[in-house]
Structure 1
Amino acid sequence: MNLDYIIPNNWSIIEEGFNPDTVKASESLFSIGNGAMGQRANFEEKYSGPTFQGSYIAGVYYPDKTKVGWWKNGYPEYFAKVLNAPNWIGINVTIDGEVLDLNACKKVENFKRELNMQEGWLSRCFTATLKNNIKVEVKAKRFLSLDIENIGVINYSVKPINGDAVIEFQPYIDAAITNEDTNWDDKFWDVISVSQDGEKAFIQAKTMKTDFYTCTFMQSKFFYNNNPVEINPKVDKTSTHLGFLYKNKVKKGDVFSIHKFGGYTSDRNHDKYELVNVAGSVLDKAIEIGYSKLLNDQKNAWEQIWEMADITIDGDVKAQQGIRFNIFQLNQTYLGTDPTLNIGPKGFTGEKYGGSTYWDTEAYCIPFYMATKDQHVARNLLTYRYKHLQKAIENAEKLGFSNGAALYPMVTMNGEECHNEWEITFEEIHRNGAIAFAIYNYHRFTGDYSYIPEMGLEVLIGIARFWHQRASFSTQKNKYVILGVTGPNEYENNVNNNWYTNYIARWCINYTVENIEKIEAEYATDYTRVMHKLKLSKAEIKDWQEVANNMYFPYSEEHKVFLQQDGFLDKELITVANLDKSQRPINQKWSWDRILRSPYIKQADTLQGFYFFEDHFTTEELERHFNFYEPFTVHESSLSPCVHSIQAAKLDRMEQAYTFYLRTSRLDLDDYNHEVHEGLHITSMAGTWMSIVEGFGGMRVRNNKLSFEPKIPKQWESYSFKVNFRHQILKVIVNQDKTHFELEGDNELDILVNGEKVTITPNNLVTV
């Protein structure tokens, strides 16, 4: 099914016309969040058609017991599931005894849904003719407050059009919810109590196994033609549900509205015995502020985010809509205020991947958060991994490693590995390298070295110990090899000597040694503390260096390229251009056996190494590898187009770079991979930002300076972005014939533009 139904708009995601076939896709695309909670864009009123119900609380998860055909030593005990939380948005609507249900109406007209990204709200309006022939106009608007992170607000109104009607609103909270992706159909929630205090409603529930305590709450206010009205409700209460029924006679053309306030408190932030009291206080505060003021505060909060994070594109509405959608969803998912949280690959938009942390954060998200927020946000993400170091050591111990070797998990909620596909869990070990690279990248960009002696060195040593033990010596090659791995290209499993894995392993060891020497020379106290704590000797470091200095890298003299892994050239090398389009995407059309024997690459693999370590290679080497590998790449990972867009721009292949950019920015909006109904690709959205800033803008850090090599697609008139570089905010505006730079603050900044030094003075437009 073609899902290209989103109307192009600079600031909004808009859908017009009601189509039951796209309801699930729209529930993903119109999702809302505030960093602390989020929800799919489910209808407030009853909907009996196909729907994927989902509300989520950040950091609350369930360890769903691993389901495999047979057990292997080292398998994770569970897969961490982001939990569909008790529902607070529900409002049953009845009109003269007939339930409002868009799946059962005689006719639905003038349906429009809008996600306003500039102001941070979701709206929906439609006219419906019910089976009893009553026609009503419905308008709904809701948002999750950025100012009061526990609260969400709904304004829902009904206007009878062809006669008077008795309208009943039944706002409710409900804990009889399930996850779509449960392994064993387990019960995830245990309801502790269902209670009310006047017209406040509370459901206390805790997760099974993990014992997260939560309180779901609500309270409502009512209006007739915008004037407050008091209505005594009937109570509908069960062991998992609490609703209040409010009934009102409404004249033709008049409007009956409910303002519903709801949300969650949890023991992640509050005492578990105080959750109802805290929820009551939150409701009192929100109702005192009122819907209109909360909405205005929401607009102001988003204005502040956009002031720094926005990327403008003139002359290409679809490209503009795409980048703003990506930036908006990243900020809805993670705002950097809680160092115990991270960025799940689906955010608050679905359950796939368990909502956990992947290496996507280090490889793709940290650059976005470093440059568009204050550097402490990126530091929090690095601190998150430091706090999980002991778990990473335990993960490695389960696989037979020792002496403090650390293997960071492929998927985690608490630092413990919880991914249960052996070819990824045991073999996709390059993730360790991405975590080390993020430490390097953070220091390179921010200039803040303090993280490394305080925390980062311990992480690096654990990772270096892992690589030292994971490599084995080949007498046949007289080199160290790394066997039985899966590189970033997951369409190859259990290969030997994946070039990217071997390369990043060597780099990690060398980078760790370099930092040990620097800290010994400049941070004697930290050096002594870490060496003593980790029992690290000079002899052990020498053993690491032996591995790094003698690492094997597969290479083809014929093609003058590093080989993705041993045996790559044994494959039948048919390019994607010569692959029948009816066979795409191959992950949905082919058996896994056939995929593994093919030359097709899911995402940047060798080229991922050229992206991270661009400075290690010449442009000619990049071009040779790009020419060789991109024609075999099917881009069936959300993480693929952005890296290729950046490299195509570096190689002056602007048409190709632009095509890749559109694909990464509109991956979900245009549903390239036919899976948007499952949720959005949040972590890859940061790659969209990178495609513009690092790709078209050519931004790098060279010799402690920001460097730009600006380029612009012919489809655009201009584009602009801001970066926060070492507490100085620089705006870059690129036109077809020149580039402008504007600097905020008091101090001047030296940058490089196309290799030439340019000095930018504050509050002056500099044109190159």
Structure 2
Amino acid sequence: MEVSNQPKNLDYRSLLSSPEWLVEENKFDKNKINFYETIFTVGNGYLGTRGSLEEGHEAAWPGTYINGVFDHHDSFVVDMVNAPAWPAVSIWVEGTKLSIHNCELIEYKRKLDIKKGVLHRLTRFKDSEGRITRYESLRYASLSDRHHFEVSGKVTPENYEGNIEIQSEIDGDVLNLDLTPAYKEKPEFEPEMKWIKWSKSRHLRSRSTQVLENSTYLEMETIDRPHHIGYASALQVSAPHELVSDADYNKTRQRARIKANKGEAIDFHKLTSIYTSRDVEKSKLKATCRNTLEANMSKSFEERFNDHALAWAKKWDDCDISIEGDDDINNAVRFNIYHLLITANEFDPKANVGAKSLSGEGYRGHIFWDTEIFLLPFYTFTQPPTAEALLLYRYNTKEGARDYAREGKHDGLRFPWESADTGHEVTPEWTADGTVRIWTGERELHITSMVVYAMITYYEATGNIDFVLDYGAEILFETTRFWQSRLEYNKKEDRYELTEVEGPDEFHHLVNNSVYTNWTTKWSMQKAVEYFYNLQREHSEEIEPLLNKLALDQKEVDEWKRVAEKIYIPYEPKKKLIEEFEGYFGLEDIPITQWDENDMPIYPSGYDHDNCDTTTLIKQPDVVMLMYILPDEFDEEVKKANYEYYEARTMHKSSLSPSVHTIMGIETNNHEKALQYFERAAYVDLIDNQGNTEDGMHIASAGGTWQAAVNGFGGLRIKNGQLTFKPWLPNKWKSLRFKIKWRGTDLKVCVSHEQIGLLWISESIENLAVLVMGKEIHLKPNQEISVPLG
């Protein structure tokens, strides 16, 4: 009989944080299974795993997604691959598996600890023989060792003694799925009908399985892409037990058989190490997995967990937002930050963040402009190395962007609307059923300017000139070449235009002169001219190799300047209102008059997503979005007039919408609406107000929630390279605290109704000048200052 050297009878509940850091599920609801799988995702940036029950169930959507691993086989577009699930553990009593289907659940609770990145579970099963078994588990993806994953727990026979088997497996027979399961429309689970609406795709096949001395090894490979994925796994049990290990074509399993005594807890630890051939050479994959596994097996549970919890504490020290006076909204904000922290990999400059993060297969794991506009501000101001890695993804996939520009017979770089691992456009042209044309990939050009926008914001906040010289300048200049070749000259009007495009408002396709697209194109081209001359003046020696490589000279840049000045902007300042695109004001003007139980607008009778293009109804902020990202280009009257006009016509059918309306609501003194939109943004997944959280987190909304708190209520902006603050707090809030990174230093901010406190943590001998309510304030290093807001 074997006995683990791990400690016995651990109190896992005592490891959890205080209640304000917990998100709880206090009863089992089959109709919310997939919803909780999404919000209870654990991860560490390298990998994310949905919060499925360890033993599985008929309605499960277990997903494990390794950042950067894609495959095309068996799917009409490339997919983020669903990898084998590492948490799989089941309990068998006298030969019968305990599950939600064959047992009464006397007690069922799960808690996601967002402070420590762990998922805790307590379930008491009563089987058909009246036996009550207490099952407790703690699951985490280590933040201190990003290739270590663990399920630890204990099994207690409360009212019987007998044979218990703890079974651990790694099953390589996994599929990718699409759309929404049909089972939730039925009164009972129907396994044969459950996936009727789903499209199944296979992306993995087995390379090898092996039983080792005290562990197992499984290696899978993607079918079209060259990736290998290795899993080394081991089961440790505290009680005397017989351990049986076996492997077949695509599955490994370990079973610990125990003679259990009534009331005595049996502790277990399932440890798994995961690597891919993106991390190490294929020939070294197995050895690397085994070495990491054995290193963690030699440590106690407390050592492993404490290292993980310490890494989380360091993250929260940089990223936490504290709202005094509203515990519920503070919990929701922290929940969003938690998901931001588990979805991006700061160590992988060839991976990015999909629209549903690493928590689900919605949008097939594809990368959108969400990263540049909604996510990167969070990482730029709290985790600069992560921000740099995300920006380097665009640089490292630039050849795909170059091919995309060539396909349209254009120059330079055109970044795709949906991207995966190569930088090529992967937006489907039609919906899966072939009935609806998808125009976004062909017409949403503004993502190219937004990549530039994100890079410039990163540089302004970090001062990382090496990034600009090594990567950013090339992107800036090559995207400008794309715009130069894509713009259309209207000889009659003597102006340059962009026709048949689609702006952020995706209700209106194939429009001419989208103000968002034209304005950001002009802004991006003018930045290219500005940076060309600044870099030549201040870094001539460093920039010369790039200019030679691109064959870029002053004559070409001056032509950029000339063309940019002639880009048509459909806006007359005296009229205040900005027309979203040519002809928008001539569309049928239909008001929004009804809202659902989640306070979301309801389509007017006779209208839906497919026919709103004949009306002034818009899907999400477009003109209002433009005023947010380029605030200094509009005066207060223009911002207010356009916010109030377009807000009344916005259907918010994108989760990206509420956070922008929060920030601009505060900026235009529409405070009541701003708070309303902030709650929509913060709770978008916690209450599922878009109705599709089961497909994965709305991670861009999570980033937007952070921006709403910091840029909205905190009033943070950058103006002419200087930090500015113009905060406002709701009456219920007593204070708002956050910390940002600014050019290699930390700035702590505390806002109350009466004042703003600023503490600049720096070794500088100089002062830092910031603007507070328009007044310049000089901060001395390591000396807190309070500035009245009246």
Superposition TM-score tier, normalisation by shorter sequence: over 0.9
Is the aligned partner of 1:165 residue 2:165?
no
* TM-score, length basis structure 2: 0.90
Is the aligned partner of 1:406 residue 2:409?
no
Q: Find the partner of 1:755 among 763, 774, 779.
A: 774
Q: 2:107, 2:753 → 1: CA distance?
A: 41
Question: Are the equivalent residues in 1 in contact too, given 2:157–2:264 (CA < 8 A)?
Answer: yes
Q: Find the partner of 2:689 among 672, 688, 699.
A: 672
> How far is 1:32 from its partner?
0.4
Is the aligned partner of 1:764 residue 2:773?
no
> What is the aligned partner in structure 2 of residue 175 from structure 1?
172
- Please, which runs of 5 or more residues in structure 1 have no aligned partner? 1-7, 68-78
Q: 1:101, 1:136 → 2: CA distance?
A: 11
- The farther-off stretch of 516-525 and 176-185 is 176-185
Q: 2:600, 2:254 → 1: CA distance?
A: 53
In structure 2, what residue type is equivalent to 1:215? G
In structure 2, what residue type is equivalent to 1:410? E
- The farther-off stretch of 335-344 and 107-116 is 335-344
> What is the aligned partner in structure 1 of residue 282 from structure 2?
272
In structure 2, what residue type is equivalent to 1:283? L
Q: Find the partner of 2:60 among 35, 39, 51.
A: 51
Question: Are the equivalent residues in 2 in contact too, given 1:343–1:683 (CA < 8 A)?
Answer: no
Q: 2:633, 2:454 → 1: CA distance?
A: 17
Partner SS state of residue 242, structure 2: coil
Q: Find the partner of 1:659 among 676, 687, 691.
A: 676
Q: 2:402, 2:771 → 1: CA distance?
A: 42
Q: Find the partner of 2:314 among 288, 304, 320.
A: 304
> How far is 1:525 from its partner?
3.0
Aligned pairs (5 A) from 1:682-693: 682-693=699-710
> What is the aligned partner in structure 2 of residue 607 from structure 1?
624
> What is the aligned partner in structure 2 of residue 439 from structure 1?
455
Q: Find the partner of 2:221 among 193, 200, 206.
A: 206
> What is the aligned partner in structure 1 of residue 439 from structure 2?
423
CA gap 1:574/1:744 in 2 versus in 1, 3 angstroms = same
Q: 2:614, 2:141 → 1: CA distance?
A: 47
The CA deviation string for residues 157-199 of structure 1, in whole angstroms up to 9 with x for no partner, is 2211222231111111110111113997443112011101123
Q: Would you say how many aligned residue pairs link Structure 1 and Structure 2?
A: 742
Question: Are the equivalent residues in 2 in contact too, given 1:9–1:318 (CA < 8 A)?
Answer: no
The CA deviation string for residues 652-696 of structure 1, in whole angstroms up to 9 with x for no partner, is 222211111111111100111000111101133111111111101
Q: 1:531, 1:642 → 2: CA distance?
A: 40
> What is the aligned partner in structure 1 of residue 102 from structure 2?
104
Q: 1:762, 1:296 → 2: CA distance?
A: 33
Q: 2:786, 2:728 → 1: CA distance?
A: 15
The CA deviation string for residues 479-527 of structure 1, in whole angstroms up to 9 with x for no partner, is 2211111111111111111100011111111111111122222222344
Q: 1:621, 1:615 → 2: CA distance?
A: 11
Q: Find the partner of 2:238 among 207, 216, 223.
A: 223
Q: 1:457, 1:588 → 2: CA distance?
A: 50
The CA deviation string for residues 543-591 of structure 1, in whole angstroms up to 9 with x for no partner, is 4333312222224799531211111122221222368999955599955
CA gap 1:405/1:385 in 2 versus in 1, 3 angstroms = closer
Q: 1:590, 1:173 → 2: CA distance?
A: 48
Question: Are the equivalent residues in 1 in contact too, given 2:624–2:643 (CA < 8 A)?
Answer: yes
In structure 2, what residue type is equivalent to 1:416? H
Q: 2:485, 2:19 → 1: CA distance?
A: 53
Question: Are the equivalent residues in 2 in contact too, given 1:108–1:127 (CA < 8 A)?
Answer: yes
> What is the aligned partner in structure 1 of residue 505 from structure 2?
489
Q: Find the partner of 1:636 among 643, 653, 671.
A: 653
Q: Find the partner of 2:271 among 250, 261, 264.
A: 261
> What is the aligned partner in structure 2 of residue 247 from structure 1?
257
The CA deviation string for residues 189-231 of structure 1, in whole angstroms up to 9 with x for no partner, is 120111011231111111011020111221011013xxxx3x3
> What is the aligned partner in structure 1 of residue 84 from structure 2?
86
Q: 1:432, 1:173 → 2: CA distance?
A: 41
Q: 2:616, 2:154 → 1: CA distance?
A: 56
Question: Are the equivalent residues in 2 in contact too, given 1:46–1:93 (CA < 8 A)?
Answer: no
Question: Are the equivalent residues in 2 in contact too, given 1:146–1:301 (CA < 8 A)?
Answer: yes
Partner SS state of residue 202, structure 1: strand
- The farther-off stretch of 50-59 and 467-476 is 467-476
In structure 1, what residue type is equivalent to 2:100? L
> What is the aligned partner in structure 1 of residue 305 from structure 2?
295
- The farther-off stretch of 746-755 and 344-353 is 746-755
Question: Are the equivalent residues in 1 in contact too, given 2:381–2:740 (CA < 8 A)?
Answer: yes
CA gap 1:523/1:316 in 2 versus in 1, 3 angstroms = same
> What is the aligned partner in structure 2 of residue 136 from structure 1?
133
Question: Are the equivalent residues in 2 in contact too, given 1:556–1:563 (CA < 8 A)?
Answer: no
Q: 2:697, 2:603 → 1: CA distance?
A: 20
Partner SS state of residue 59, structure 1: strand
Give % identity: 28
Q: 1:12, 1:387 → 2: CA distance?
A: 38
Question: Are the equivalent residues in 2 in contact too, given 1:642–1:688 (CA < 8 A)?
Answer: yes
In structure 1, what residue type is equivalent to 2:317? E
> How far is 1:44 from its partner?
1.0
> How far is 1:305 from its partner?
0.6
Question: Are the equivalent residues in 2 in contact too, given 1:309–1:327 (CA < 8 A)?
Answer: yes
In structure 2, what residue type is equivalent to 1:766? I
CA RMSD of aligned residues (A): 2.3
The CA deviation string for residues 609-660 of structure 1, in whole angstroms up to 9 with x for no partner, is 1111101111111111111111111112111111111111112222211111
